[in-house]
Amino acid sequence: MFGPILAREWMVAPRRAKFYVQRVVFVLTLFSLVCTAWALMAGIQQVRNLGDLSRFGSLVFQIVVPLELIVVMFLASVTAASNVSQEKDRRTLILLLLTRMTSSQIVLGKLVSCLLGVTNLVLASLPLLLLIAILGGVSATQVYLAIAIIFLSGCWTGALANVVAFWREKTFQTLAITLLAIVSWLVFCEVIAAGLISAIAPEWAQLLSPVRALWLVCQPIQASSWIPIPGGIPLAHCLLGAAATALFSTIAVQRLRVWNPSQGVRPQAPEDSEEAGSEEKSWKVRAPRPMWNNPVLWREMRTWAYGRKLMIIRLSYFALFLVAMAGVYWSVQTGAALERSRLSDELIPLAAQILIPFHCVSLVMINSLAVNSITNERDGQALDLLLATQITPTQFLIGKLFGVLYVTKEMVILPIALTAYLWSQGGITTENFAFVIGGLIVMDFFSAMLGIHSGMNYSQSRTAIGTSLGTLFFLFLGIATCMMIMMSFRGSFARQLPPFLAIILGGGTGLYVAMGSRNPSPAIALASFGLPFLTFFAITSFILRNQELTVFSVIVAAYGFATTAMIVPALSEFDFAMGKSRSVDEED
């Protein structure tokens, strides 16, 4: 049923070193979080009885399991989207359609081959979760239900990315639509949970949202289920995930040969000679458009370099902006955004809980377009020709950098506008508003430059996209995880620093492997190992309150220096990975 695509991946995947490295790193990361939480707890209080161990097991389970869910959903969607998009960019999908393979073998083969890595990670984490259950506070049933929700969430997000990838032609369109669809669904579930949709009961959010269904499983005392089936809401959510996977896969199978090949690459039938002779063709000769001194910037800003369907992404993003604006407006009207939160009540204010996810989505979309601006040139066989022209490295880099920021101008302007509205209503002070805007601008340049840097340093598009998006995603996820642990185990900076040192060093090593392994330099090494520590210091300063200037200065210095460390080498020369140093793991 799955065909030779899955058979090849099944035989080749165990031969790659990354097949084993990924699960080792993944499990070690989760285990380091458990050890960090234990070190913080042992430094705050004495563990005297089984009750203390049970409370620790329940608490650390609520930290590790949601983290695993987010990682699996991200990896499944990005891997499935980039795997199919690479076939389209290299024009090899047409060759697959010409073979004897059926549509189901192509679609399901691509999907299941992408899910092999996700399944590998989920199964590798199962023994660690069972060890947490031995501490107490968590049952084996909760562990198995959590694993089922995580796995099926990866399945339906991968199936969604798969169907979007077969539908859309451009890689950025696939990534952006998939990201917006997943985020929109989660936001819709949160709107239901808030009771803002009168026709739907708030309890349905636990059934529809993977985050809320998993959080229900993580609770030590299970509430009575309103669904009369064994297993309750978690099992019902798993059934919905399986149904969504089947639905998306069925749509992709039915529409595969309708969508592909696209109209742009289909050969046109020749016109009848008699009709051509009887009718005279009148051609309009358009005057040449004036070119700028920087042709790369002109192409990015004055042409549809990323497809006309980019308007769909902009409209979808604007709809997400309207939802965020409605949330901020509601928080202002109810007065929740105008109240200064206290550390004993909540770590992050209500308005910031709405702004931060919206800002993160904007940065991820900027990063995805930046890396695709380089990989599209390489896959389209235009990069070799571009390097042979008289375009200088400065023109190329400036053109790509500012061109990406122009194309994604909605992702740059709308977060600033949303923050400006909150400032106009008195939600934040003028000083903090200036800090937020300055930090957003620095992060916009960092996200764009990280994508360009990854696209220039990795010869395979799938590797470049995964490295760029993965670096930014895990950077944000690491920040969120640190804040969750600090919120659960509060203490002084001196007490928190030693347990977090392993995570900081691990994060620095990961950043250096992603950013500097192909083009090492002292500046990139300093930026890679300095970013996790400075980010940790900024988080600690934020928690201590009344240190906004310190947080702003550290963030601007850290990420500004990292951006400069990537820009300076690219300005000096064209340094592209053209396949000469491709490793064995990157071979298709």
> pLDDT-derived band of residue 494, with 50, 70 and 90 as boundaries?
low
State whether the Cα torsion 37-150-119-166 is positive or negative: negative
Q: What is the pTM of this model?
A: 0.85
Beta carbons of 5 and 110 less than 8 angstroms apart = yes
Tokens for 475, please give them.
């950077």
> pLDDT-derived band of residue 110, with 50, 70 and 90 as boundaries?
very high
**pLDDT at residue 581, as a whole number:** 45
- Judged by DSSP in three states, 196 sits in coil
Count CB neighbours of 90 within 10 A.
16
Q: Which CA distances in Å does 20 have to 27, 47, 328, 463, 482?
A: 11, 36, 44, 17, 26
Mean pLDDT value across residues 276-287: 52
User: Among the listed ranges 24-38, 137-151, 219-233, which one has the minimum average pLDDT value?
Assistant: 219-233
**pLDDT at residue 274, as a whole number:** 46
How do the residues of the chain divide into helix, strand and coil, expressed in percent and rounded to 5? Answer: 75, 0, 25
Most confident of the ranges 375-384, 480-489, 547-556: 547-556
Tokens for 191, please give them.
């709107």
**Tokens 């923050």 sit at which residue?**
419
Angle at which helix 522-544 crosses helix 493-516, to 10 degrees, equals 150
Most confident of the ranges 274-283, 333-342, 362-371, 574-583: 362-371
Mean pLDDT value across residues 458-471: 85
- Judged by DSSP in three states, 203 sits in coil
Q: How far apart are CA 369 and CA 365, in angstroms?
A: 6
Least Cα distance to 134 among 223, 70, 203, 50 occurs for 50
Least Cα distance to 543 among 473, 491, 505 occurs for 491
Q: How far apart are CA 183 and CA 321, in angstroms?
A: 12
**pLDDT at residue 570, as a whole number:** 81
SS (H, E, C) 337-394: CCCCCCCCCCCCCHHHHHHHHHHHHHHHHHHHHHHHHHHHHHHCCCHHHHHCCCCCHH
User: Among the listed ranges 171-175, 251-255, 263-267, 472-476, which one has the minimum average pLDDT value?
Assistant: 263-267
Whether the per-residue pLDDT at 579 is higher than 60: the answer is no
**pLDDT at residue 336, as a whole number:** 61
**Residues near 144 by beta carbon (within 8 Å), at least 6 away in sequence:** none
> pLDDT-derived band of residue 38, with 50, 70 and 90 as boundaries?
confident
Tell me the percentage of the chain whose pLDDT exceeds 90: 31
Least Cα distance to 189 among 163, 215, 166 occurs for 215
Beta carbons of 210 and 190 less than 8 angstroms apart = no
Whether the per-residue pLDDT at 417 is higher than 50: the answer is yes
Q: How far apart are CA 77 and CA 83, in angstroms?
A: 10
User: Among the listed ranges 22-31, 327-336, 451-460, which one has the minimum average pLDDT value?
Assistant: 327-336
Q: How far apart are CA 25 and CA 472, in angstroms?
A: 18
Tokens for 14, please give them.
């165990």
Tokens for 381, please give them.
């066989």
Whether the per-residue pLDDT at 563 is higher than 90: the answer is yes
**pLDDT at residue 161, as a whole number:** 94
pLDDT digits over 150-167, tens only? 999 999 999 999 999 999
Q: What angle do CA 47, 53, 57 make, to 5 degrees?
A: 135
Q: Which CA distances in Å does 578 have to 149, 581, 588?
A: 41, 8, 15
pLDDT digits over 291-330, tens only? 788 888 888 888 887 877 788 889 999 999 998 898 888 8
pLDDT digits over 188-212, tens only? 998 898 888 888 888 888 889 999 9
Report how far apart the first and last C-alpha atoms of the chain are (Å, whole number): 22
**pLDDT at residue 276, as a whole number:** 47
Helices (H) and strands (E) in the chain, counts: 22, 0
DSSP state of 518: S
Q: How far apart are CA 175 and CA 82, in angstroms?
A: 8
Least Cα distance to 361 among 411, 397, 324 occurs for 411
Tokens for 73, please give them.
């959903």
Beta carbons of 316 and 184 less than 8 angstroms apart = yes
Q: How far apart are CA 464 and CA 456, in angstroms?
A: 8
pLDDT digits over 341-358, tens only? 444 445 566 777 788 889
Tokens for 580, please give them.
């000469």
**pLDDT at residue 339, as a whole number:** 57
**pLDDT at residue 489, as a whole number:** 64
**Tokens 């959010």 sit at which residue?**
205
Tokens for 553, please give them.
């200065």
**pLDDT at residue 345, as a whole number:** 44
